[in-house]
Amino acid sequence: MENRLDQFVRLSALLTGFAPLHLLGTGMAETYLRATDAALPDGVLDELLDAGSLPSAGSAPPTGSAVPGAPAQPGGSALAGGADPDAAAGQAIFGDAKLGPVARALILLWYRGAWTALPQEWRSAYGASPRDVDHVVSAEAYQAGLQWDAAGAHPAGARQQGYGAWASPPAALETESAPGTTGVRLPRQAGAPSVTEGARS
């Protein structure tokens, strides 16, 4: 049986498009799990984790009110549904009125290192936590944000590239999708290990 941190990382990989090994490599998984849990009413994170675990369990998608009239997205992403069980789980999560906004806030947490408060309509319908306010989790979270990897950049004021780096053009980036993720195209520097290699580790 998967522990809660493993479930959280697997769900986060599905939502962000980054391989679990990459997410663990940020050093923020446990911190983000605690921050997410604190920002949500009791039980909501467990519902989301269960919904993200459904593909391996072979269960039905979560029950909640789907967004009416949401168009099907083409391609192999989690938003597309289709035969891929991870894609079907992503579609169900994003289309769920209760879990969708939480999943979007979790994506922003991983990319920006900051929790984004849930909409007031959501809080009125499902409850509120005093920690559900816009806040940067920590200085480390800002530096570990996936936005920097996705952009092929470094956080301003941190992880400098060395003296004179500004004088050289940016390194060429290749893109690829990590297996079992939402199909987000991830940048990597030419010659760097593939996210597919990282996903197998």
Token pair 């391609």 is found at: 75
User: Does residue 185 form part of some domain?
Assistant: no
Question: Is the model more confident about 178 or about 171?
Answer: 171
User: Does residue 60 form part of some domain?
Assistant: yes
pLDDT digits (tens, 9 = 90+) for 58-75: 333 343 433 333 333 333
pLDDT digits (tens, 9 = 90+) for 108-154: 999 999 999 999 999 999 999 999 999 999 989 999 999 988 888 88
Burial of 22 (0-12, 13-18, 19+ CB in 10 A): buried
Question: Is the model more confident about 78 or about 24?
Answer: 24
pTM above 0.95, yes or no: no
User: Does residue 157 form part of some domain?
Assistant: no
Closest CA to 77 of 16, 22, 24, 20: 16
The distance from CA 142 to its chain's CA centroid, rounded to whole angstroms, is 15
d(Cα 135, Cα 28) in Å, to the nearest integer?
15
User: Does residue 201 form part of some domain?
Assistant: no
Contact 16, 111 (CB under 8 A): yes
- pLDDT category at 47 given cuts 50, 70, 90 is very high
* Rounded CA Rg of the chain: 17
User: Does residue 193 form part of some domain?
Assistant: no
Burial of 103 (0-12, 13-18, 19+ CB in 10 A): buried
The answer on pLDDT for 192 being more than 70 is no
> Which stretch, 38-42, 55-59, 174-178, has highest mean pLDDT?
38-42
Report the number of distinct structural domains present in the chain: 1
User: Does residue 84 form part of some domain?
Assistant: yes
Closest CA to 11 of 99, 126, 113: 99
User: Does residue 171 form part of some domain?
Assistant: no
Q: What is the pLDDT of residue 175?
A: 56
Q: What is the pLDDT of residue 27?
A: 96
Q: What is the pLDDT of residue 178?
A: 54
Token pair 């979007």 is found at: 104
What residues make up the domain containing 131? 4-148
Which residues of 78-172 form beta strands (DSSP E)?
114-115, 135-136
User: Does residue 78 form part of some domain?
Assistant: yes
